[in-house]
A and B are shown apart, each in its own frame.
Chain A
């Protein structure tokens, strides 16, 4: 009889059933067997594989200590002596996606064990770490768990089997930016000309090398004289007036807010709070300046360090919010900032 494939699963505090945001700062820990989705996957693995252990770490702990946390997690994973590691799926949770990706990098480099994960394509963890893991494309929320788990398990079994991997399309993973040599019937010049002819005829064709999408914006000239400059505050940390008057969503925000702070020398829990659902709100609610530094910028304006603090701040919740939405928000309010003569922006993120 062939030994079962040994699977170790990496989860965050939420899927690891330890707790919500209040437990997001827990350091890595391990458990025998599968927990949460790792337990649910046991059935899907059948006779061929077994989840021998689960390693769990809080998303905030990981995000704030990427290097240390990676080392600790790898150490715990290695104690189970796995054949393969599965991380996530992280859907569109940014910190979790980055954690899964960093775990994949560390496991691949230090233990030389393959890693399979799952994420929404916009999760920053995909771009940052795609070459270290076979990642299944998931929906943007955990509602897609039931669909993504079988895909992840199927991919994991294939990877662990040691058989040669097919292309991303064949096997169902997101392109990793890895080139593999293959033999084809027709030589390159003929394929290229065929592609060109199809393009000229307006027919469908598939490129063999999609151009990477480098959407970079060159930095603007610096501010010449801060003491004359009008500075505006923008945040993705969800700071809003108390009771969130415009009902900005706690995740996947569909809008941004513009609020007047001309009368405020500081923000307090009596007048402002955070609407963000992706981090522990205790500290921001207690003192909103911790996310939106109105107090010190007001001081600096009064002392003449800066010319002026712009009377409006712009805010949204950067939590699973679509890149297309954030882009649209900022395109819109940047026009207002220009019209209002703002010289520079400080954007804070949680």
Chain B
């Protein structure tokens, strides 16, 4: 899906936990996430901290979208 969205001309960021799969699939902007059943959360945290974590991850995704890339890039921070 990520490749077809890109092909349509829309910049896309893939947020996923298993980065090697995303690289194989052909995503260009990749943001690694927390865990397979909860990529954008962590049930061990309090609701407030969890939302903060999610916001940081989405912030990374937005950073990726406004960054020019020339090939597959993992935004790891």
Given known contacts A220-B6, A220-B11, A283 and B38 CB-to-CB distance under 8 angstroms: yes
A66 part of interface (Cβ distance < 8 Å): yes
**Complex CA–CA separation, A305 to B22 (angstroms):** 27
Cβ-defined contact, B5 with A337, below 8 A: yes
**Complex CA–CA separation, A226 to B67 (angstroms):** 11
**Complex CA–CA separation, A337 to B12 (angstroms):** 12
Within 8 A of A (CB), among B37-77: 37-41, 43, 50-51, 54-55, 57-58, 61-62, 65-71, 73
User: Which listed residue (B25, B37, B54) contacts A279, Cβ 8 A?
Assistant: B37
Given known contacts A337-B5, A345-B10, A289 and B37 CB-to-CB distance under 8 angstroms: no
Count B interface residues, CB 8 Å: 51
Binary contact readout A326-349 vs B (1 if CB under 8 angstroms, 0 otherwise):
110111001101100011111111
Cβ-defined contact, A342 with B10, below 8 A: yes
- Interface size grouping (class) on chain A: 35 or more
User: Which listed residue (B14, B51, B65) contacts A344, Cβ 8 A?
Assistant: B65
Cβ-defined contact, B40 with A291, below 8 A: yes
**Which residue of B14, B20, B40, B69 has the most chain A CB atoms within 10 A of its CB atom?**
B40
Task: Find chain A residues with CB under 8 A from B66 CB.
Answer: 222-224, 226
Cβ-defined contact, A300 with B58, below 8 A: yes
Within 8 A of B (CB), among A195-243: 215-224, 226, 229, 231, 234, 236-237
Cβ-defined contact, A128 with B1, below 8 A: no
**Complex CA–CA separation, A337 to B8 (angstroms):** 9
Task: Find chain B residues with CB under 8 A from A66 CB.
Answer: 18, 20
**Which residue of A60, A218, A295, A347 has the most chain B CB atoms within 10 A of its CB atom?**
A347
Cβ-defined contact, A334 with B5, below 8 A: yes
A16 part of interface (Cβ distance < 8 Å): no
Cβ-defined contact, A289 with B11, below 8 A: no
User: Which listed residue (B2, B11, B26, B37) contacts A280, Cβ 8 A?
Assistant: B37
CB distance from A22 to the nearest CB of B (A): 10
CB distance from A243 to the nearest CB of B (A): 20
User: Which listed residue (A215, A222, A289, A335) contacts B26, Cβ 8 A?
Assistant: A215
**Complex CA–CA separation, A64 to B55 (angstroms):** 21
Within 8 A of B (CB), among A313-336: 316, 318, 326-327, 329-331, 334-335
11 inter-chain pairs at a CB distance below 8 angstroms, sorted by A residue, are A124-B25, A128-B20, A223-B11, A231-B62, A283-B38, A283-B43, A291-B39, A306-B62, A348-B16, A349-B17, A350-B16
Further pairs besides A220-B12, A222-B66, A348-B15: 18, Cβ < 8 Å: A220-B6, A236-B1, A284-B37, A287-B50, A290-B54, A295-B54, A296-B54, A327-B3, A329-B1, A334-B8, A338-B9, A345-B12, A346-B58, A347-B12, A347-B15, A348-B40, A349-B14, A349-B39
Interface residues of A (CB under 8 A from B): 60, 63-64, 66, 94-95, 98, 124, 127-128, 215-224, 226, 229, 231, 234, 236-237, 279-284, 286-287, 289-293, 295-297, 299-300, 305-306, 316, 318, 326-327, 329-331, 334-335, 337-338, 342-350
